[in-house]
């Protein structure tokens, strides 16, 4: 009888120690790719990114970019968007949007063209100014020059915007 009681006490002791160890050890996974300290950083503000490309202007691109940028942060973080003076601040402009001939065939005509977009970004982290930066992000897409740009422009611009927004997100809050 005393032996059974000792066995029960040993089992209970092992279980209690195991529970304490499990409670003390926590593992945290973030599947959205952001590494934000939400105890310090709670808000984000965006200024409009105007299209200041001197070479070429496509009207819808500015609003497409601004919407995609804001949506990325709203969907992938818990930050609250404020009009101004956020803990994190993003501003800048679209500095380049242009199409280039990429290849010339034996007949002397262009066979491939490249569409390129560049965005200048100013990032301010009011909780850690060591992370502030101003940087350019670019993306480009090739297309067959037998196609009219107007036929492929929206799809290509969406792809470039997605790539640039991902670059900006990674540079600002992903901290890879």
pLDDT per position as a tens digit, 9-22: 566 665 665 555 55
pLDDT confidence tier of residue 2, bands split at 50, 70 and 90: low
Q: Name which residue leads in pLDDT, 34 or 165.
A: 165
102 vs 152: which has the higher pLDDT: 152
Flag whether 151 is in a domain. yes
What is the residue-averaged pLDDT of the chain? 86
- Give the per-residue pLDDT at 32: 45
CATH number of the domain encompassing residue 105? 3.30.160.150
Whether residue 119 lies inside any domain: the answer is: yes
Residue 164 lies in a domain: yes
Listed range (53-57, 89-93, 141-145, 154-158) with the worst mean pLDDT: 53-57
> What is the pTM for the complete model shown?
0.79
Instruction: Indicate the number of domains in the chain.
Output: 1
Range of the domain at 127: 33-174
DSSP calls for the chain? -HHHHHHHHHHHHHHHHHHHHHHH------SSS----TTT--EEEE----B--SS---TTHHHHHHHHHHHHHHHHS-PEE-SS--SEEEEEEEEEEEEEEEEE-TTSSEEEEEEEEEEEEEEEETT-GGG-EEEEEEEEEEEETTS-HHHHHHHHHHHHHHHHHHHHHIIIII--
5, part of any domain: no
């Amino acid at each position: 009888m005393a032996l059974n009681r000792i066995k029960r006490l040993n089992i209970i002791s092992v279980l209690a120690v195991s529970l304490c160890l499990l409670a003390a050890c926590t593992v945290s996974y973030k599947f959205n790719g952001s590494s934000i300290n939400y105890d310090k950083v709670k808000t984000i503000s965006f200024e409009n990114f105007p299209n200041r490309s001197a070479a070429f202007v496509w009207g819808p691109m500015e609003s497409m970019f601004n919407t995609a940028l804001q949506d990325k942060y709203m969907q992938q973080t818990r930050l609250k968007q404020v009009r101004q003076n956020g803990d994190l601040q993003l501003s800048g402009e679209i500095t380049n949007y242009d199409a280039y001939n990429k290849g010339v065939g034996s007949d002397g005509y262009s066979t491939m063209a490249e569409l390129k977009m560049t965005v200048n970004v100013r990032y301010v982290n009011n909780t850690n100014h060591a992370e502030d930066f101003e940087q350019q992000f670019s993306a480009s897409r090739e297309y067959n020059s037998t196609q009219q740009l107007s036929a492929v422009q929206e799809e290509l611009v969406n792809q470039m915007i997605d790539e640039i927004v991902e670059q900006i997100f990674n540079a600002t809050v992903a901290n890879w």
